[in-house]
Structure 1
Amino acid sequence: MDGSNRTMDPSCRQQPPLAIDIIVKLDVFGIILYSLLTFMAAVSMLVFIEECIYIYKKVPANKKSIIIWVNGAAPVIATMSCLGMWIPRATMITDMTSACYFAVVVFKFLIMMLEEVGGDEAFLKRAGKHKLKISTGPCCCCCLCLPHVAITRRTLFLLKLGSYQFALMKLVFTILSLVLWTNGTFDLSDLSITGAAIWINPFVGILTIIALWPVAIMFMHLRTVLRTIKIIPKYAIYQLVLILSQLQTAIINILALNGTIACAPPFSAAARGYMMSQQLLILEMFIITLVARLLYRREYDPLPQEVDDNENSKMIVVAQSA
């Protein structure tokens, strides 16, 4: 045991290095890698800005801000990951910023689906005789015995509230975590029962699952009528961003804390895990940004009016005419 302690690099037990320490120790491969990933993050943000200009000019006023919010998930995460890559000691803050942004995107995606069918009133007007299937993921995909729920103004309010609570509470818990962190109380690597992270993170996970459920319910109900605007690949992209930014990052961090990811000076095992996560996210979000641009760059014409009397078919809604 004593021998292993003598051979271990002291930096493996230290906090993440400063940005200047990374720059000084970069070799040729590191310079190329960091430059390429920084370029990808910059291109992602430039593509997003160009898409915002297109949306501002081409999209109806009631959809502009919503689509911009949803479209910005990947480039914002890529930008925050790039900052975390260059400044490892800020990784927790950049990750929390990305998570807060995506919490808003969860709510905005639900609102976007409603706006695509004409808004709340148009949805309620044509959906009164239909019912929502609530036995869907991520909460109740196995509970097939759950009854279908009538579509009313109260039901729509509860669906919105279920997603909105995550956007609000995620911000509250992020601020609380940062305050506790400055006091030395919040530490992601502290998994003891007395640590703040072991209580806050699982509760945020529960809120996340609750928020994703209304979005899944609405998607399952509207996927047929919104098929012409490519809602299925849009929903797939939204789910992919969630998995990569939350689940993938959590898995890598757990592996680092367990010692599966080895220390590589000047990075400790935990810091190296965070670094690998940031670098992967930049590449993945760059690709997703380009794909999302193809999906959202279209003519935003009202949906055609259709009538469907088959009780087993999905609802068809008339968008509000101009």
Structure 2
Amino acid sequence: MNNLVNISHPSCFQKPPLALDIIVHLDMFGIILYAVLTLMATVSMLVYIEECAYIYRKVKTPKKTAIVWVNGAAPIIATMSCLGMWIPRATMFTDMTGATYFAIVVYKFLVLMLEECGGDEEFLKRCGKQKLRISTGPCCCCCPCLPHVAITRRTLFLLKLGCFQFAVLKMVFTILSIILWTNDNYNVADMEITGAAIWINPFVGILTIIALWPVAIMFVHLRSILQSQRIIPKYAMYQLVLILSQLQSAIINILAMNGTIACTPPYSSQARGYLMSQQLLILEMFIITLVTRLLYRRHYDPLPPADLYQDDNDQNAKFIQQTEAEESIP
């Protein structure tokens, strides 16, 4: 019976409430919850600012630029979620801002892995005689028959281009969506064929998959080389931010649009779904910010120089072993 009352309430069919309306309707539990989540978002940003100051003093360019961008993913998303929690009518803009920032982070994480190797030239010098396995997720993990690709300047350029296109085009589509929204042509909940969202969002999803593929290829190739740089937990945190900020939010919003999440005045079903997603993200990004601080705020020792003759040494060792084995046969 309560569900029927909630569904028939006028606020279930209205726009999200204003910030002042939220403050008026908060009970004691709501006040404590909003205060704690706001404190978490604030601490996340303060930790990030302190970490940026440390990295700018201790790390050389251009590695420090990549580290600062990658580290900013969790606190920026937490801050945008906090703003969206307090100002529900700005949710579309806060979500787009966080997603646009993460699109840049995807490219910067690829750059970070290369800088951990010493830069593009050092990477080519160290891995130039090897080959890349491209049968990785999210595009081709089910295609192990794909040939391995030689590591060249052209290959490296294509990998960077695959990530860079997402950073640029995501920003372009974000601006386009805002322009269409001002003209009442863009609505996230409008799934009709005539709506702009049904065309823009799937295309952005395809661009996302294309951009994640080069990062996965490079990580698979460098995870053993960069093990001393703790690249595996760094990549895990990067993937966790991706899953929580994109997949988790998408699932909650789909459930809200289908009416699975009940309307609770002054929030409609969709606005309540956004609120739940934002509150979860603040808590999750706060934890990730603390973990990434442990991973990145440290003394950075360069990798040992690449042995240009390692392949020849390995072949000579195999030849010697084979010769000794043949001589030992009576």
Question: 5+ residue gaps in structure 1?
Answer: 312-322
| Aligned-partner residue type, residue 94 of structure 2 | T
Larger radius of gyration: 2
Of the structure 1 ranges 125-134 and 280-289, higher mean CA displacement relative to structure 2 is found in: 125-134
- Once superposed, which parts of structure 1, at least 4 consecutive aligned residues long, lie more than 2 Å away? 4-7, 305-311
User: Which residue of the partner structure matches residue 302 of structure 2?
Assistant: 302
CA distance in 2, matches of 1:12, 1:106: 37
1:292 matches 2:295: no
| CA drift at 1:17 | 0.3
Question: 5+ residue gaps in structure 2?
Answer: 316-330
CA distance in 2, matches of 1:244, 1:206: 18
Secondary structure of 2:248's counterpart equals helix
CA distance in 2, matches of 1:266, 1:76: 27
User: Which residue of the partner structure matches residue 318 of structure 1?
Assistant: none
Note if contact 2:7-2:263 (Cα within 8 Å) is conserved in structure 1: no
| CA drift at 1:126 | 2.4
| CA drift at 1:5 | 8.7
CA distance in 2, matches of 1:254, 1:243: 15
User: Which residue of the partner structure matches residue 91 of structure 2?
Assistant: 91
User: Which residue of the partner structure matches residue 122 of structure 1?
Assistant: 122
Output the TM-score relative to the length of structure 1: 0.94
| CA drift at 1:124 | 1.2
Of the structure 1 ranges 298-307 and 283-292, higher mean CA displacement relative to structure 2 is found in: 298-307
| CA drift at 1:306 | 5.5
| Aligned-partner residue type, residue 86 of structure 1 | W
Note if contact 2:125-2:306 (Cα within 8 Å) is conserved in structure 1: no
| CA drift at 1:91 | 0.3
Secondary structure of 2:264's counterpart equals coil
Deviation readout 1:129-161 (Å, 9 max, x if unpaired) = 110000000000000000000011000000000
| CA drift at 1:32 | 0.2
Q: 1:60 to 1:194 in 2, by over 3 A?
A: same
CA distance in 1, matches of 2:52, 2:170: 26
| Aligned-partner residue type, residue 260 of structure 1 | T
User: Which residue of the partner structure matches residue 271 of structure 1?
Assistant: 271
| CA drift at 1:305 | 3.1
User: Which residue of the partner structure matches residue 20 of structure 1?
Assistant: 20
Output the TM-score relative to the length of structure 2: 0.91
- Count residues with an aligned counterpart: 308
User: Which residue of the partner structure matches residue 193 of structure 1?
Assistant: 193
User: Which residue of the partner structure matches residue 45 of structure 2?
Assistant: 45
Note if contact 2:6-2:264 (Cα within 8 Å) is conserved in structure 1: no
Aligned pairs for 1:242-281 within 5 A: 242-281=242-281
Note if contact 1:41-1:282 (Cα within 8 Å) is conserved in structure 2: yes
| Aligned-partner residue type, residue 98 of structure 2 | S
Deviation readout 1:191-227 (Å, 9 max, x if unpaired) = 0111110100000000000000000000000001100
User: Which residue of the partner structure matches residue 77 of structure 1?
Assistant: 77
Q: 1:174 to 1:7 in 2, by over 3 A?
A: closer
1:56 matches 2:66: no
CA distance in 2, matches of 1:306, 1:198: 49
CA distance in 2, matches of 1:285, 1:117: 28
Note if contact 1:60-1:300 (Cα within 8 Å) is conserved in structure 2: no
CA distance in 2, matches of 1:127, 1:22: 56
Instruction: Output the aligned Cα RMSD.
Output: 1.3
Q: Percent identity, aligned pairs only? A: 75
Aligned pairs for 1:76-225 within 5 A: 76-225=76-225
Secondary structure of 1:61's counterpart equals coil
| CA drift at 1:6 | 10
Note if contact 2:63-2:112 (Cα within 8 Å) is conserved in structure 1: yes
Note if contact 2:126-2:306 (Cα within 8 Å) is conserved in structure 1: no
Note if contact 2:261-2:269 (Cα within 8 Å) is conserved in structure 1: yes
Q: 1:32 to 1:5 in 2, by over 3 A?
A: closer
Secondary structure of 1:300's counterpart equals coil
